[in-house]
Amino acid sequence: MSTTKKFTAVAVGLGLLTLAACGSSDSDDQAGGSGSGSKTVTLVSHDSFAYTKDVLQAFEKESGYKVRVLKDGDAGQAVNKAILTKDNPQGDVFFGVDNTLLSRALDNGLFQSYEAKGSDQILSEYRVDQDEHRVTPIDSGDICVNYDKAYFTKNKLTPPQSFDDLVKPEYKNLLVTENASTSSPGLGFLLGTAAKYGDDGWEDYWKKLRANGVKVVDGWEQAYNEEFSGSAGGKKAKADRPLVVSYASSPPAEVIYADPKPKTAPTGVAADTCFRQVEYAGLLSNAENEKGGKALIDFLVSKTFQEDMPLNMFVYPVAEGAKVPAEFTKYGPAAEDPETLDPAKIADNRDQWVKSWASLVLK
């Protein structure tokens, strides 16, 4: 669903962004490419990719490959840059394209076919592209509206729980969301409303939401840490919006990273506002180190890495039997009935939906 201490797996952007000149690397090995005979394999990802150092080092020791991690901005920016550089890619494996942008990557030939060892353990609901195996599911998360518990207690107001609630007068001027043209959670929220209200109803819903004072900012970082009153960052900034589009996993992050830790999460999730997000990894079409890239993808779906993700990126594993830490599920259980859309429907409608959304909300 995309975090480090910023609390998300994929608090990320998309669209026709100005692309950064270069990414930043987590590895000490900053020079040189991977190469077909190289023992370095390069993973290109978004800025929220995170891992336990010992877990990655164990893979390096076992496989003999040195992993270079190249973080290349938010997810949309990273995907767009990977497409533009696909003939001469920056690395061997790309991680972080999600179901909202998957068709763009596949249609542009970003990945080559590879069926990962252990992919038979991936839960069936997450599997896509089964004929060509160009991508491998790695994690899932839920984009949902979060609320500031203290605000609603202080004002003796019941927090909203559904999309319908958000357009009610009592919640006027309380919600901040991300731009669907530039942010993955913003796009996910838009897709959630399209799934909920259908082709004939989602635009009317957004007209109501706009009339009810929804605020739109460029990305998750600004929305959550600067505008949302319930976040640690928002409290410091004296933010005044008690509702924000974020993730179902944001409340446990608020607990785990707090010092001292509260007994309960200071934020909650509006359960009927969620949209299911799935992230994938793929072997880049012109990867120099295909062998190393395949080994790395095998590692990403291994039980070791799958169980390492929740407390690093605040996402759920997709491999059958992978355990999730108790403190993660205690404060941020996955949505029981999130909205979903068929990838083909997203592919057919995404660009027009975003264009229509912008004309409605940003005018």
On whether residue 115 sits in a domain, the answer given is: yes
Same domain, 146 and 244: yes
Same domain, 218 and 239: yes
125-156 residue pLDDT tens: 999 988 999 999 999 999 999 999 999 999 99
Count structural domains, the chain.
Answer: 2
Same domain, 244 and 350: yes
Same domain, 264 and 134: no
Which residues are registered as beta bridge partners of 142? Answer: 276
pLDDT of residue 354: 96
On whether residue 17 sits in a domain, the answer given is: no
On whether residue 16 sits in a domain, the answer given is: no
pLDDT of residue 197: 98
Quick check: 49 and 2 in contact, CB under 8 A?
Answer: no
Same domain, 314 and 294: yes
On whether residue 13 sits in a domain, the answer given is: no
Distance between CA 89 and CA 45 in Å, rounded? Answer: 12
On whether residue 8 sits in a domain, the answer given is: no
pLDDT of residue 2: 42
On whether residue 15 sits in a domain, the answer given is: no
Among 152, 145, 125, CA closest to 137:
125
Tell me the residue range of the domain where 186 lies.
142-275+337-361
Q: What is the mean pLDDT of residues 226-235?
A: 90
* Greater pLDDT, 311 or 172: 172
Same domain, 150 and 31: no
pLDDT of residue 38: 76
The DSSP line for 62-82 is HH-PEEEEEE-SSHHHHHHHH
On whether residue 131 sits in a domain, the answer given is: yes
Q: What percent of the chain has pLDDT over 90?
A: 72
Q: What is the mean pLDDT of residues 210-236?
A: 92
* Greater pLDDT, 115 or 32: 115
Same domain, 132 and 156: no
Q: In degrees to the nearest 10, what's the CA dihedral of 122, 124, 125, 130?
A: 90
Classify strands 267-269 and 136-148 as parallel, antiparallel or unpaired.
antiparallel
72-104 residue pLDDT tens: 877 777 888 999 999 999 999 999 999 988 999
Same domain, 131 and 270: no
Tokens of 161: 């729980």
233-257 residue pLDDT tens: 878 878 999 999 999 999 999 998 8
* Greater pLDDT, 269 or 100: 269
Same domain, 268 and 308: no
Range in 58-67, 124-133, 238-247, 326-335 with the lowest mean pLDDT: 326-335
User: Helices 202-211 and 343-361, interaxial angle, to 10°?
Assistant: 40
Residues contacting residue 30 through CB under 8 Å, at least 6 positions apart: 68
Tokens of 131: 């004929």
Same domain, 163 and 310: no
pLDDT of residue 35: 58
- Asked whether residue 1 carries a pLDDT value surpassing 50, the answer given is no
The DSSP line for 243-301 is EEEEETTHHHHHHHT-SSPPSS-SEEE-TBT-EEEEEEEEEETT-S-HHHHHHHHHHHT
Quick check: 317 and 324 in contact, CB under 8 A?
Answer: yes
Same domain, 183 and 54: no
Among 273, 272, 274, 254, CA closest to 264:
254
**Integer CA distances (angstroms), 182 to 42, 57, 168, 246, 319, in order:** 26, 34, 27, 15, 30
* Greater pLDDT, 283 or 33: 283
Distance between CA 350 and CA 363 in Å, rounded? Answer: 19
CATH of the domain at 152: 3.40.190.10
pLDDT of residue 331: 86
Same domain, 49 and 129: yes
- Asked whether residue 329 carries a pLDDT value surpassing 90, the answer given is no
pLDDT of residue 26: 60
Round the average pLDDT of the chain to a whole number and report it. 88
Classify strands 136-148 and 243-247 as parallel, antiparallel or unpaired.
antiparallel
**Integer CA distances (angstroms), 194 to 111, 306, 341, 356, in order:** 28, 31, 9, 12
Rg (alpha carbons) of the chain, rounded to whole number: 20
- Asked whether residue 32 carries a pLDDT value surpassing 70, the answer given is no
CA angle 138, 340, 229 (to 5 degrees): 85
Q: What is the mean pLDDT of residues 162-188?
A: 94
On whether residue 148 sits in a domain, the answer given is: yes
Quick check: 277 and 76 in contact, CB under 8 A?
Answer: no
Tokens of 176: 């901040």
